[in-house]
Amino acid sequence: MRQIHYRGYAMFAFGLAIIAGISMPVFWGWDVAVDLNQSSLFLILLLVAGVLLVVADVQMSWQAWRFQKARGFSSLWVAILGQSAWFILTFWMYLDPMHVSALKTVTLPITMFGIGLLMLTLSWTQRVESLAPVSSAMLQSARRLSWLSVIFAVYGFLFFGLTWDWQIGLAVATASLLVIDPRWPLIFASQSRGEAIETLTDARVKIYNPAALDQIKDIKQAVVEKTGVLTSRQLTVYNVDSIDDNYSAQDVLGIMAGLEQEVGGLYAEALVTYSHNQGVYPIQAENVEVIPLVGLQGTIQGDTYMLVSATMHYRIIMSITANG
């Protein structure tokens, strides 16, 4: 998506702030730094500032609409409303300076300087927000915060406008729109998410689709496939022990390798390789059968052996005990 050159707008706003700060009072009640005796300069500065805001608002609104269409949400709407309300309040103060004490900082130099800073933050957040892995849950929270900011602004405008004065109401509404900005929590949350993904990547956990992380909390069952999708195709046997005094570890290894080599497979290959490395050769097994979803069983030197999991072994023991 095409990026907005916010830095250009910021530099232009800072330039206007400097010129206005020289030729106009920085705060209400202050003297002019340099009296140029040019009454038309004041109108020109207001006009140029207004044109700058209109152009910026139009371009930002177009981008916000495209974001809204693509992702269902855009954090730019609050910024557009905030900077527009700020300039309208400033323009209104010059037309009717009713509250020069309460709104002492609402002047063109301060307003343009603040809008310049806002443009710089928009430039940074535009780049970061486009790269950060934003989830649907984050967008939903940011959308709620945006509506909350607008609701507070409308409430402040109506409440203070009706009980005090409409200029004060507009000032409160402007502050709500500028202070309650949904972009910051969205960006910080997405950056934390990105750091978590990088940590998992460093731990050799590949995240192919970050959006799928939102569904982890809803997972009830997981299927693990052991042929290279989640792990490598190579299996490694590290040790074989015996818990029966009648059989040594070498005896157990020889029996296991003898059963496994009759059926083959990755596990059989790893077990036979391990037994050879330990100097133990598989004992010849006969009548080896695969027990579906359980393991193997076969005959070695007249005795029947089963190669099953610990859980299945426990069930067999419990069954034998129950049957006497």
pLDDT per residue as tens digits for the range 76-87: 888 899 999 999
55 belongs to a structural domain: yes
- Asked if 71 and 194 sit in the same domain, the reply is yes
Together in a domain, 95 and 192 = yes
Specify if 297 maps to a domain. Answer: yes
CATH code assigned at 288: 3.40.1110.10
Task: Look up residue 28 and give its two tokens.
Answer: 């209400």
Name the DSSP class of 163.
H
Q: How far is CA 230 from CA 34, 225, 265, in A?
A: 72, 7, 18
Give me the helix-helix angle, 76-95 and 108-131, nearest 10°.
180
Paired sense of beta strands 295-300 and 286-291, if any: antiparallel
61 and 126 in a single domain? The answer is yes
Is there a domain that residue 236 lies in?
no
Domain end (from 172, 202, 232):
202
- Give the number of C-alpha atoms closer than 13 A to the C-alpha of residue 285, restricted to the C-beta side: 25
Q: Identify whether residues 149 and 268 lie together within a single domain.
A: no
Q: 118 is in which domain, residue-wise?
A: 6-202
- Counted residue by residue, the chain has a size of 324
The neighbour count for residue 124, using CB atoms within 10 Å, is 13
| Segment 98-103 mean pLDDT | 86
- 21 inside domain: yes
**Is 139 a domain residue?**
yes
Residue 103 forms part of a structural domain: yes
186 and 271 in a single domain? The answer is no
Expressed in angstroms, the distance from the first to the final Cα of the chain is 75
Domain count, the chain: 2
Residue 212 lies in a domain: no
Candidates 128, 124, 118, 116; CA nearest to 181 is 118
pLDDT at 151: 93
Place of tokens 């004490």: 101
Sign of the Cα torsion 43, 49, 51, 53 reads: negative
Q: How far is CA 85 from CA 20, 205, 291, in A?
A: 19, 48, 75
Q: Mean of the per-residue pLDDT values for the chain?
A: 83
Report the side by side order of strands in the sheet with 295-300: 286-291, 295-300, 303-308
Tell me whether residue 151 is in a domain: yes
Among 87-101, 131-145, 151-165, where is mean pLDDT lowest? 131-145
Q: State which of 202, 217, 240 marks the end of a domain.
A: 202
Do 122 and 260 reside in the same domain of the chain? no
Residues 186 and 279 in one domain: no
Q: Identify the pLDDT of residue 323.
A: 60
One domain, residues 43 and 136: yes
Cα separation, 77 vs 91, in Å, equals 21
What is the average pLDDT across 151-171?
A: 93
Express each pLDDT in 226-265 by its tens digit.
Answer: 555 555 667 888 888 888 888 898 888 888 888 888 888 8
The pLDDT, as a whole number, for residue 200 is 79
Domain check: are 172 and 40 in the same one? yes
Q: Pick from 267, 244, 255, 248: which is nearest to 306 by CA? A: 255
